[in-house]
Amino acid sequence: MPELPEVETTRAGIAPQITGRRVSKVIVRDRRLRWPVPPALARELPGQRVHEVTRRAKYLLLKADTGSVILHLGMSGSVRILTRSLAPLPHDHIDIRFGRAAILRFNDPRRFGCVLWTRRDPFSHPLLADLGPEPLSADFAGEKLYESSRGRKVAIKNFIMNAQVVVGVGNIYASEALYLAGIHPRRPAGRISLARFNELAAQVQRVLRAAIRAGGTTLRDFTDSDGLPGYFSQSLKVYGRTGLPCKRCGEAIRQEVIGQRSTFFCPHCQR
DNA sequence: ATGCGGACCTGTTAGC
DNA sequence: TGCTAACAGGTCCGCA
């Protein structure tokens, strides 16, 4: 579920419900996530206020009085806000309770996600310290991609999915952005011109923004069980369209494995 | 430094 | 219909 648009939609959904509220209790039902949930979370967070809910890459950051919660949804994670007590379902691993007002409930079947606690600046946490630029920031442009790609032989698909290069481009939107920019996913990153990188950067922004808009519409009230904007799938040009005609030229969309992930592209429109 | 493959998990779907 | 295998939106880590 969670690519950057889903994470951003989640952030926007939960922020108004917990910002400024005081945590009353943290319940950890299963601490076996990607990294074990630190005991300090349940020990230190209760009694503190959440001051803001931000996002860096696909990490959600809950800034509290003496530290921050760092939360990642992995492949299958979701959070939702309950406004009344509900019996936990399978994989409801963590509750962060805000008195009677709200419960933030973290669910993650595959447990690739994480919920961590740091007393330091979360941006200096090892998981966040080396991350590349945010694709939706105003200063994100093709130049950065172009410069960091010189001499690199890695396929462009893998390159733009590398979080040290640019964050937030997951498997779906990597295929989509490359299609929109007309770039073959296997093309070596170092053999792409500045002009084409400018186009790619623009299309990355465009597709992510469009998906956020679609997600935002679907999940307006956030008591829904999973943060799945099932909606944007209608707008996908290549992802999941193996064998179907390209919407531009009619050629059959190809599916190949690149970097161990399924990749979708039009062999005619992408070079 | 770079690039590749494996690892972590469970649930759902595709195929025989 | 039922069993098994393949696959799934992420990303860290170790090795060559």
Q: Is the CB of A262 under 7 A from strand C?
A: yes
Helices (H), chain A: 4-18, 39-44, 126-129, 142-149, 156-161, 171-181, 194-218
Task: Give per-residue pLDDT as tens, A12-55.
Answer: 999 999 999 999 999 999 999 999 999 999 999 999 999 999 99
**Res A154 pLDDT > 80:** yes
Instruction: Round to a whole number and report the distance in Å from the CA of A150 to the C1' of B11.
Output: 41
**Beta strands across the sheet bearing A68-72:** A52-56, A59-63, A68-72, A114-118
Task: Give per-residue pLDDT as tens, A174-195.
Answer: 999 999 999 999 999 999 999 9
Q: What is the biggest distance separating any 2 CA atoms in chain A, rounded to whole angstroms?
A: 59
Q: Is the CB of A74 under 7 A from strand C?
A: yes
Q: Is the CB of A127 under 7 A from strand C?
A: yes
Q: Which residues numbered 162-181 in chain A sit less than 7 A from strand C, measured from CB?
A: 163, 170-172
Instruction: Round to a whole number and report the distance in Å from the CA of A264 to the C1' of C7.
Output: 15
> Sorting pLDDT into bands at 50, 70 and 90, what band is A230?
low
Query: Which of the following CATH numbers is that of domain A142-265: 3.40.50.720, 1.20.120.1200, 1.10.8.50, 3.40.50.1100?
Result: 1.10.8.50
**Res A216 pLDDT > 90:** no
The residue that minimises its CA distance to C1' of B4 is A259
Q: What angle do CA A120, A123, A128 make, to 5 degrees?
A: 120
| Domains of chain A by residue range | 4-119, 142-265
Q: Fold for A4-119, please state it.
A: N-terminal domain of MutM-like DNA repair proteins (3.20.190)
Nearest to A219 by CA among A1, A2, A4, A13: A13
Q: Is the CB of A72 under 7 A from strand C?
A: yes
Q: Is the CB of A57 under 7 A from strand C?
A: yes
Q: What is the pLDDT of residue A220?
A: 40
Q: Is the CB of A110 under 7 A from strand C?
A: yes
Q: What is the token pair recorded at A28?
A: 């950890």
Whether A4-119 shares its CATH topology with A142-265 is answered: no
Strand B-proximal protein residues, Cβ less than 7 Å: A 32, 34, 76, 90-91, 109-112, 151-155, 158, 259-260
Q: What is the Cα–Cα distance from A254 to A267, expressed in whole angstroms?
A: 7
Q: So which residues of A are the catalytic ones?
A: 2-3, 58, 261
Q: What is the pLDDT of residue A150?
A: 97
Task: Give per-residue pLDDT as tens, A67-126.
Answer: 999 999 999 999 999 999 999 999 999 999 999 999 999 999 999 999 999 999 999 999
Q: What is the mean pLDDT of chain A?
A: 93
Q: What is the pLDDT of residue A253?
A: 96
pTM: 0.95
Instruction: Round to a whole number and report the distance in Å from the CA of A260 to the C1' of B4.
Output: 10
Instruction: Round to a whole number and report the distance in Å from the CA of A221 to the C1' of B3.
Output: 43
Q: What is the pLDDT of residue A85?
A: 93
Mean local confidence (pLDDT), A206-234: 64
Q: What sign has the CA pseudo-torsion A185, A189, A194, A198?
A: positive
> Sorting pLDDT into bands at 50, 70 and 90, what band is A221?
very low
